[in-house]
A and B are shown apart, each in its own frame.
Chain A
Amino acid sequence: MRLTGYRAHMSFLERVNDLPVLGLGMSTEYGAGDSKGALDLLAHKREHPQFARFLELGIETVKGIDTHAEAWLSTGSPTTYHFLDVNLDEKEDFDAIWLAQVRALVRKIKPAWMCGDAGLWHFGRRERGHMLLLPPILTDESASALADGIVALREATGLEVLPENPPGHVFLGDLHLLDFFARVCERADTGMLLDCAHLAIYQRTMGYEPTTGIADFPTDRIIETHIAGGTEKSLNGFHWVEDDHTVDVLPDTWQVLETIAPRVPNLKAAVFECERNPAAYCIPGFKRIQETLSDHPVVQ
């Protein structure tokens, strides 16, 4: 078992000390590197190593990893495993075949941890045509089910599993999203990946200020953070933000990052999600993240 793996006898806030500091990194998923003008992972690492300390691999087991990810792995550089194909709150989703595929991928890519949006990645069974991404139902019952799934996946893989707050524009339930994830973290005894852009989308959708709820959230549970651009859209008087990973990060998202920056003692990794954009367009975003976290070990 890797040293960074899950140790069942310790609490998360003890285990977190075993997790490596990955620093500022980037993300990809199958085929993203083939997009016209997409970020060249290895070139970015050569030219701006301070912005490419690790690679977050977005993975559907049915697709595996592409040649760009293979090339990264061949350098021996760090990775994290971002799942794109499991509904953590559905027991039926943890079938033996999927788990075997996950374990095989974990052996191959040796990620520091697993993470991923804790939402509905697919309706019904895991099959072609069923994919989407919806946020969880924000209720106490749903938080418990999600926590159970995190524990199950952690025990099945031996890795920490960090739930991420998903994007969306339909949020249901009687809990604020941060209250929901605080319960998930406590019940699963885990940390989380706070996506600043997703949180900003949620706050705006629900009519809250960008930083509502952060003061009461156990921010020592935040191990990783994501920053990404989004596009404001309108339809017949309804306004929403599309989480399309452009390099145009919205002010709300920066405000979230600036608010959490001094409150995240256990932050180990930050990702600027800009995988489908040319490097030159991405650099300003990486620099601003670096500046915002300049007092934090994650960018030292």
Chain B
Amino acid sequence: MGTAHTTLQRFVVRMLFDPQFVDRVHQEDQIPGLDVEALAWLRAVPRQAWSTDPYRRSRSLQALLEEFPVSAAVWTTEVGDLRKLDAFFSSNAFHICIHERGSLALSFGNWLVASAGPIGTLETAFARARRFTPPQGQGWVLAPGHEPVALPVGTVRRYLAIREHLGGDAIGKLLKGLDLPSNLPALGEQTEHLLIEGGASSELSIGHIGQALYDLLNGARHAKTIVQLQQLAISLGAEPDEADTVVQDLIDEELILEIAS
């Protein structure tokens, strides 16, 4: 078989979640990533076998929404019935996530941003900060658990107001038709820069930072050498003789760390 077993296993997961994809596997002449033998094996499985768990999608959606309650509230207010978010499991975002061994929550968050706007961006940043995903590459990189994010002024206040309005069992309330109040804090024209930090527990902290620090930390998402970070600091306005201090401060405050590979 030319198709790697791990690849084939990911196709199985996609088919278990997405009946539309099951149809594609059965109807299309070729499925990218599958050789003839692997495709034949998948087609030999009785089609009903892919849908023996009728709650697979709703169970997974419930878990996702618990991490994105405020985005879900924005969705219900501005788009429609919360249950329609089930469409995520037939989206390209979902299939790419499974195929690339990604994070379902982060993929869901990024998919949701299109309709939940800045609140979706904020909750996706929370999700990233919680995960402490080990960074890739070699050099100095943004420390896991730290997320710089740029949002319209007022996003955090709006988020907190919706969160307070929802209280406990947010998803249950939204399913019952809970509306958002009309007097929520407005979003401004200008941008605020935030640093979200995940802790040892699931607690998160949010702090305001300047744009230069935001740009510097954002630039450190991909591993860089110390010299590259110093050059970036200079390009962002640091004096040449203070660039090493700026970068050393990031190291001392454990905002960046060195990785070997």
Query: Does B105 belong to the interface (CB within 8 Å)?
Result: yes
In the complex, per-residue mask of A120-153: 1 if CB is within 8 Å of any chain B CB, else 0: 1001110111101010110101100100000000
Query: Does B251 belong to the interface (CB within 8 Å)?
Result: no
Query: Does A156 belong to the interface (CB within 8 Å)?
Result: no
Query: Does B177 belong to the interface (CB within 8 Å)?
Result: no
- The A215-261 residues at the B interface (CB cut-off 8 A) are 233, 235-238, 240
A67 CB to nearest B CB, Å: 20
| A interface, size bucket | 20 to 34
Query: Which residue from chain B places its CB closest to the CB of A91 in the assembled complex?
Result: B6
Binds A, one of B44-52, B190-198, B221-229, B232-240: B44-52
Query: Does B41 belong to the interface (CB within 8 Å)?
Result: yes
Query: Does A295 belong to the interface (CB within 8 Å)?
Result: no
Query: Does B64 belong to the interface (CB within 8 Å)?
Result: yes
Q: Is the CB of B6 within 8 A of A169?
A: no
Query: Which residue from chain A places its CB closest to the CB of B63 in the assembled complex?
Result: A129
The main secondary structure of chain A at its interface with chain B is loop
In the complex, per-residue mask of B76-117: 1 if CB is within 8 Å of any chain A CB, else 0: 000000000000000000000110011111000000000000
Q: Is the CB of B104 within 8 A of A129?
A: yes
Q: Is the CB of B97 within 8 A of A124?
A: yes
Q: How far is the CA of A238 from the CA of B52 in the complex (A)?
A: 9
Q: How far is the CA of A240 from the CA of B97 in the complex (A)?
A: 29
| B interface, size bucket | 35 or more
Residues of B within 8 A of A125 (CB): 101-103, 133
Query: Which residue from chain A places its CB closest to the CB of B59 in the assembled complex?
Result: A129
Residues of B within 8 A of A155 (CB): none
Binds A, one of B8-16, B149-157, B159-167, B208-216: B8-16
Give residues in B with beta carbon < 8 Å to A: 1, 4-6, 8-10, 12-13, 16, 37-38, 41-42, 45-46, 48-52, 60, 63-64, 67, 97-98, 101-105, 131, 133-134
Can you list 16 A-B contacts with CB-CB less than 8 angstroms, sorted by A residue number?
A120-B9, A123-B98, A128-B67, A128-B105, A129-B64, A130-B104, A136-B9, A137-B5, A145-B5, A145-B6, A169-B49, A172-B38, A172-B42, A235-B51, A238-B46, A238-B48
Give residues in A with beta carbon < 8 Å to B: 89-90, 92, 95, 120, 123-125, 127-130, 132, 134, 136-137, 139, 141-142, 145, 169-170, 172-174, 233, 235-238, 240
The list of the 4 closest CB pairs from A to B, nearest first, reads A238-B48, A142-B5, A137-B5, A129-B63
